[in-house]
Amino acid sequence: QKEVEQNSGPLSVPEGAIASLNCTYSDRGSQSFFWYRQYSGKSPELIMFIYSNGDKEDGRFTAQLNKASQYVSLLIRDSQPSDSATYLCAVGIQGAQKLVFGQGTRLTINP
Amino acid sequence: DADVTQTPRNRITKTGKRIMLECSQTKGHDRMYWYRQDPGLGLQLIYYSFDVKDINKGEISDGYSVSRQAQAKFSLSLESAIPNQTALYFCATSGSGGSNEQFFGPGTRLTVL
């Protein structure tokens, strides 16, 4: 089992809809969770991080964490074509000294 | 100016050549990392360093070496490049406190023929 798993997609969502991206992780001791956005050929860009169970909102983005289920998700409201990218889930291990990345979910927002 | 820079941005080389990729940062972070990314895959950690005297292997360190010349500089070397090292290479930095998020450089696209 991979340490961090994401559905590789592609995930296609109509413009204006909610995009839901999911990630599961295997290390129950993980305490920090990150979502990065990566445009094709570019470097990953941090969108959000979350440490506590529940929801964390930042603009159109909401991160959700459920440590009991070892599950973290990212919701993008009012999806825009500019949100089309690959979204990488990362989990902090060893006290967040290192990050383990999922393989990423490719998201396409259709106008 | 970018906080994390990488040179070169693109490099084509031949099998057996020694290659060095360089990373510099102005963020004042202690921690620096080298990752590789293959098409359709996530990021794999090659090496990481928490300060100038601290170097650690990541999950795929074979065939690579690193040097932390200063707090702001972290170089990755391929001692004898092989075609399956063709990939996109990223340097990242993070602070030692707070949320520990990592910030990435623009990447180096390396092709080994």
Give residue-wise pLDDT tens across range A89-109: 999 987 767 899 999 999 999
Q: Does B10 touch chain A (CB under 8 A)?
A: no
Q: Tell me: pLDDT of A84 over 70.
A: yes
What phi and psi, each to the nearest 5 degrees, are found at residue B85?
Answer: -95, 5
Residues of A with CB under 8 A from a CB of B: 4, 8, 32, 34, 41-46, 49, 51, 88, 90, 92, 96-104
Contact A104/B42, CB-based, under 8 Å? yes
Tokens of B92: 């990242």
Residue B95: per-residue pLDDT = 86
Does A82 score more than 80 pLDDT? yes
pLDDT at B99 over 90: no
Q: Which residues pair with A50 in a beta bridge?
A: A33
pLDDT band at residue A1 using 50, 70 and 90 as cut-offs: low
Handedness of CA B46, B2, A46, B107 (dihedral sign): negative
Residue B101 has pLDDT above 80, yes or no: yes
Spatial neighbors of A94 by CB under 8 A, at least 6 apart, are none
Average pLDDT score over residue span B69-88: 96
What's the confidence (pLDDT) of residue A96?
Answer: 66
Count Cβ atoms below 10 Å from residue B113 Cβ, excluding itself. Answer: 10
* Residue in A45, A98, A104 nearest the CB of B48: A98
Q: What is the pLDDT, as a whole number, of residue B35? A: 98
Q: Residues A53-80: pLDDT tens digits?
A: 999 999 999 999 999 999 999 999 999 9
Residue contact A44–B104, C-beta within 8 A: yes
pLDDT at B7: 97
For the cut 90, the answer to whether the pLDDT of residue B74 exceeds it is yes
Answer yes or no: is pLDDT of A5 > 90: yes
Question: Nearest to residue B67, comparing CAs of B85, B54, B83, B58?
Answer: B54
